[in-house]
Amino acid sequence: MERKYFGTDGIRGRVGDGVMTPEFVLKLGWAVGQVLCSEDNDLVLIGKDTRISGYMFESVLEAGLSAAGVNARLLGPMPTPAVAYLTRTLRAAAGIVISASHNPYYDNGVKFFSSEGKKLPDSIELEIEEQLSKPLKVVASDKLGKVERITDAAGRYIEFCKSTIPTRIKLNGLKLVVDCAHGATYHIAPNVFSELGAEVISLSSKPNGVNINDNCGATNPKELRMAVIEHHADLGIAIDGDGDRLIMVDDTGAIVDGDELLYVIANARKKENLLDGGVVGTLMSNLGLEHALRAQDIEFGRANVGDRYVMEMLKDRSWTIGGESSGHIICLDRTTTGDAIVSALQVLQVLVNQQISLRDAIAGMNKYPQVLINVPIQDKLDLDNSPQIQEAVRAAESDLADSGRVLLRPSGTEPLVRVMVEGMDSPKVHKLAQQIADSVTAAC
């Protein structure tokens, strides 16, 4: 069955339109309570990022869960991976995150974790959608769910993050610039790194409800790059609005993306005989990552784009390390989902252990020039059956021959078609990507 509401990462949209209305989210809370909770476990945790609409959706989720007879515990602003961790450790039936991740403030979304702190499988999402088609029935008054607030959630998660590296690892002597995107990690990430001994300069850590991801964070590290150079910092750490995406900046201000961070982590673990199997990337992962891992005798697999598909391949192959170029890094030997702070700590551990800079740590990987163009579209576009688009793709593939790749895919979260071209010749890659992007625009 095709999912009607769920996308690649929960349910997401513009606030006030479509699914992101108080009426729909209230019923969604009720439907989740029906599917994920039982008499043995009727507890659900609710966390959110810093969007102004989070207050509204938090309230209606409470009401929906209560109507289903489910008890809720409010975490307040909390990173997505923190909700996954707390759901598991507090033995809740489910965790709910109110967030649209890296999207602007006027979007919001709802995503879910199982009692094990893992993303829900398709089958459970379909069960929730089936409940949404039914009338909402309120339990008897004496069975209504209650709501309480957990006041020490941030402290619990900070201690967990620190526990993912050995206690002998200290960050003393490191100067870090940390960009929190005015998002859910604003009160957590700087504390984690400073408590481990680093000198921390915080950026974008004053959320006001509408500045989340606004020209900052993992999706726009321009200010971070300048700050690293200005403060003569060792490196910069950029996190997205909900705390599951990580981009770094080296001491020269150069951006270090998810592919390079995967290489640093995997290469170090291979040398220490701590790497279980290979590494999972995606169709968007740079060829340079694949070649660099191969040079270290590390197997590499490509999943479909989306951290849920990376996770599926990791489970299928019993591997532990995977991620995306965009900065979703998954270390299953540390936690159950992508976590920007935990991933940053894994990289910092490598630098401390080997007494090297971030720039030196990525020196073994040479990235191919890669161009990604996001083309806005109004309605769904059948890429495979558009002669104009397919002709442009065939021409580009013929021009690149065996020295590059072309990938087109619709975004799972935004009204965009993503055009990616990769190859050894940078000018040619830029030209071919623009030609394909123009064909997509013309076909709309």
Q: Which amino acids are annotated catalytic?
A: 101
Distance CA 95, CA 41 (A): 12
Distance CA 353, CA 345 (A): 12
Distance CA 213, CA 83 (A): 20
Distance CA 167, CA 157 (A): 16
Which strand (E) or helix (H) includes residue 138? Answer: none
Tell me which residue of 205, 212, 195, 202 sits closest to 158, measured CA to CA. 195
**Single-letter code of the amino acid located at 364:** G
Structural tokens at position 69 = 């007879």
Sign of the four-CA dihedral 391, 392, 396, 397: negative
Q: What are phi and psi of 347, to 5 degrees?
A: -70, -45
Under 8 Å between Cβ of 292 and 263 = yes
Tell me which residue of 274, 273, 293, 268 sits closest to 366, measured CA to CA. 293
Sign of the four-CA dihedral 48, 54, 58, 64: negative
**Single-letter code of the amino acid located at 152:** D
Q: Are strands 235-239 and 255-256 parallel, antiparallel or unpaired?
A: unpaired
Distance CA 182, CA 239 (A): 9
∠ CA 303-109-17, rounded to 5°:
120
* DSSP symbols for 315-378: HHHT--EEE-TTS-EEETTT-SS--HHHHHHHHHHHHHHHT--HHHHTTT--PPPEEEEEEE-S
Under 8 Å between Cβ of 418 and 372 = yes
